[in-house]
A and B are shown apart, each in its own frame.
Chain A
Amino acid sequence: MIKVEHLTKEYAGIVAIKEISFEVARGEIVGFLGPNGAGKSTTMRILASYLPPTSGRAIVAGFDVFTDSLKARRRLGYLAENVPLYHDMRVDEYLRYRGTLKGLSGRKLTGRIGVTKELCGLREVGRKKIAGLSKGFRQRVGLAEAMIHEPELLILDEPTIGLDPNQIRQVRELIKSLGEKHTILLSTHILSEVEATCNRVLIINRGKIEASDTPHNLVNQLRTAGLVNLEIKTGNDDPTQYLLKIPGVKEVQLEIDGPWRKGWVRIEANSDLREEIFGLAVERKWVIRELSKERATLEDVFVELTHAEGP
Chain B
Amino acid sequence: MIRRVFALLFREFSAFYYSPIAYVVLFFFLILNGLAFWFSIAPLSHGPSELTVVQIFFNKLSFWIAYLLVFPVITMRLFSEEFKLGTIETLMTAPVRDWEVVGSKFFAALLFYVTLWLPSLLYFLIFGWLINREAVGSGAQLWAPYLLLLVMGMFNLSLGCLASSLTSNQIISAMMGSVLILGIFLLTMIGYVLGDSSPLLRELTAYISQLDHMDTFSRGIIDTRPLVFYPTCTAFVLFVTHHIFQYRRWRI
Contact = CB atoms under 8 A, between A and B. Distances in A.
B171 interface: no
Contacts of A73: 93-95
A50 B97 contact: no
Contacts of A78: 90, 93
A100 B9 CA distance: 12
Interface string A138-159: 0000100100000000000000
Given A50-B92, A50-B93, A101-B96, A86 B4 contact: no
A52 interface: yes
B86 interface: yes
B85 A84 contact: yes
B23 interface: no
A70 B10 CA distance: 21
A84 B4 contact: no
A101 B18 contact: no
A102 interface: yes
B89 A88 contact: no
A80 B82 CA distance: 14
Interface string B87-105: 1111011111100000000
Residue in B19, B87, B90, B96 whose Cβ sees the most chain A Cβ within 10 Å? B90
A149 to B, nearest CB: 9
Contact of B94 (A52, A86, A101, A142): A101
B86 A80 contact: yes
Residue in A74, A80, A82, A101 whose Cβ sees the most chain B Cβ within 10 Å? A101
Given A51-B250, A70-B95, A70-B97, A100 B87 contact: no
A242 interface: no
Contacts of A100: 3-4, 7
Given A86-B15, A88-B19, A101 B95 contact: yes
B93 A80 contact: yes
A48 interface: yes
Contacts of A278: none
A169 to B, nearest CB: 26
A105 B89 CA distance: 23
A257 B15 CA distance: 72
A82 B86 CA distance: 9
Main secondary structure of the interface of B (DSSP, over half): helix
Interface size class of A (residues with CB under 8 A): 20 to 34
B60 interface: no
Nearest to A142: B90
Given A70-B95, A80-B90, A97 B7 contact: yes
Interface in A179-225: none
Interface in B196-252: 249-250, 252
B8 A101 contact: yes
Contacts of A98: 90, 94
A100 to B, nearest CB: 4
Interface in B1-49: 3-4, 7-8, 10-11, 15, 18-19
A257 B4 CA distance: 74
Interface in B67-98: 85-90, 92-97
B93 to A, nearest CB: 4
Interface in A41-78: 45, 48-52, 70-71, 73-74, 76, 78
A18 to B, nearest CB: 19
Contacts of A103: 3-4, 95
A85 interface: yes
A88 B18 contact: yes
A67 B111 CA distance: 34
Contacts of B89: 45, 50, 80, 84
Nearest to A69: B95
A80 B89 CA distance: 7
Contacts of A128: none
Contacts of A89: 11, 18
B179 to A, nearest CB: 28
B53 to A, nearest CB: 39
A48 B93 contact: yes
B90 to A, nearest CB: 6
A45 B86 CA distance: 13
A87 interface: yes
Name the 5 nearest CB pairs between A and B, nearest first.
A84-B86, A88-B18, A100-B7, A73-B95, A48-B93
Given A82-B86, A85-B87, 13 more contacts: A50-B249, A52-B250, A71-B95, A73-B94, A74-B95, A76-B93, A80-B89, A84-B90, A86-B11, A97-B11, A101-B4, A101-B96, A105-B3
Interface of B: 3-4, 7-8, 10-11, 15, 18-19, 85-90, 92-97, 249-250, 252
17 contacts: A50-B92, A51-B252, A74-B95, A76-B93, A80-B93, A84-B86, A86-B11, A87-B85, A89-B11, A97-B7, A97-B10, A100-B4, A101-B7, A101-B94, A101-B96, A102-B95, A145-B90
